[in-house]
């Protein structure tokens, strides 16, 4: 029996299962986008022009409208890779399982990187805009006003039945907790017992690490070019499942023995694509925090 092969295969099976579970459970992108895990590099736009209803006196005649498709493609052309080499003496002599430690760390690094990419691309693509009152979410008195105004941005669209979301950073939480604890009996009691509530005024609220919304450039993220985002001091709100996040074959993992080195090289990698489809971009709101 090849002991290395057997150990590696069991660890790989466990690792991919645990990583896939982590990504599905922890990624905000999984909650607010349509997820495509097929192997296609290109995904066609699922949306076309909206129908127009004509109101007229009864005459029994009509003029057929022209049905148009939006010529858009989601191109999977961004790669995420994290790799390390664990030496045999490190794995043997340390008092804890360094291989498991490094694999867990890689899982969380990949999860954070993917979320940052998708959320920034989504925020940049949204054509809806909103600037908060002075103080943003950290001012308790602003929270209900902001959420009310954001809901008005998408009210009336049929897609709102998909549900709405708001993605904030950890630094915004204090204003939310104080607002939730001070408004309404049930909400206040639940907040005082359990802390931050992830749904407020019918909006699913997701919290990401501070520093997730950034000003940066992602190479290869825009049909082979680059995607520049300017989202420092921004957050994103919108209707769920009107954008698509592609992860062909999900995230992959390899272990390699390297000539001249003891131990193994471990690498986690995946290919990611994202598209906010043009006909629905108004349902994504770029929220600017006002100081």
Domain of 40, CATH number, reads: 3.90.1690
Highest-pLDDT range among 68-72, 197-201, 204-208: 204-208
φ/ψ of 205, rounded to 5, equals -110, 125
Local confidence band at 1 (pLDDT 50, 70, 90 cut-offs): very low
- pTM assigned to the model: 0.84
Tell me, yes or no, whether 69 lies in a domain.
Answer: yes
Tell me, yes or no, whether 6 lies in a domain.
Answer: no
pLDDT (0 to 100) of residue 75:
85
**Pairing assessment for the beta strands 203-208 and 164-169 based on DSSP bridges:** parallel
Q: Is the pLDDT of residue 5 over 60?
A: no
Q: Is the pLDDT of residue 232 over 80?
A: yes
- Whole-angstrom distance, CA of residue 31 vs CA of residue 276: 15
Tell me, yes or no, whether 11 lies in a domain.
Answer: no
- Whole-angstrom distance, CA of residue 167 vs CA of residue 133: 17
Domain that holds residue 49: 28-290
Tell me, yes or no, whether 15 lies in a domain.
Answer: no
pLDDT tens column, 104-123: 788 888 888 989 999 999 99
pLDDT (0 to 100) of residue 69:
67
The alpha carbons of the chain give a radius of gyration, in whole angstroms, of: 23
C-beta separation of 255 from 266 below 8 A? yes
pLDDT tens column, 119-176: 999 999 999 999 999 999 999 999 999 999 999 999 988 888 899 999 999 999 999 9
How many structural domains compose the chain? Answer: 1
C-beta separation of 267 from 54 below 8 A? no
Please give the residue that has the higher pLDDT: either 241 or 37: 241
pLDDT (0 to 100) of residue 173:
92
C-beta separation of 129 from 288 below 8 A? yes
Tell me, yes or no, whether 36 lies in a domain.
Answer: yes
């Amino acid at each position: 029996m090849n002991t290395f092969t057997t150990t590696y295969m069991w660890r790989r099976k466990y690792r991919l299962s645990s990583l896939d579970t982590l990504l599905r459970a922890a990624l905000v992108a999984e909650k607010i986008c349509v997820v495509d895990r097929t192997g296609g590099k290109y995904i066609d736009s699922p949306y076309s022009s909206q129908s127009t209803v004509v109101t007229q006196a009864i005459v029994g005649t009509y003029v057929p409208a022209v049905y148009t498709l939006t010529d858009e493609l989601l191109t999977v052309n961004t790669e995420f890779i994290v790799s390390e080499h664990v030496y045999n003496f490190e794995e043997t002599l340390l008092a804890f399982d360094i291989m498991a430690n490094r694999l867990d760390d890689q899982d969380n690094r990949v999860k954070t990187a993917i979320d940052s990419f998708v959320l920034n691309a989504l925020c940049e693509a949204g054509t809806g805009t909103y600037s908060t009152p002075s103080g943003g979410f950290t001012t308790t008195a602003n929270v209900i006003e902001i959420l009310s105004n954001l809901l008005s941005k998408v009210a009336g669209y049929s897609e709102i039945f998909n549900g709405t979301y708001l993605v904030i950073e950890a630094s915004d939480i204090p204003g939310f907790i104080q607002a939730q604890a001070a408004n309404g009996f049930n909400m206040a009691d639940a907040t005082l017992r359990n802390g931050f509530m992830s749904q407020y005024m019918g909006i699913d609220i997701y919290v990401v690490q501070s520093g997730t919304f950034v000003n940066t450039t992602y190479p290869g993220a825009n049909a082979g070019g680059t995607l520049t985002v300017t989202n420092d001091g921004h957050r994103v709100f919108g209707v769920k499942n009107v954008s698509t996040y592609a992860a062909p074959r999900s995230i992959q993992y390899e272990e390699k023995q390297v000539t001249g080195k003891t131990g193994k090289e471990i690498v986690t990698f995946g290919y990611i694509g994202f598209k906010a489809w043009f006909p629905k971009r108004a349902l994504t709101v770029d929220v600017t925090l006002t100081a």
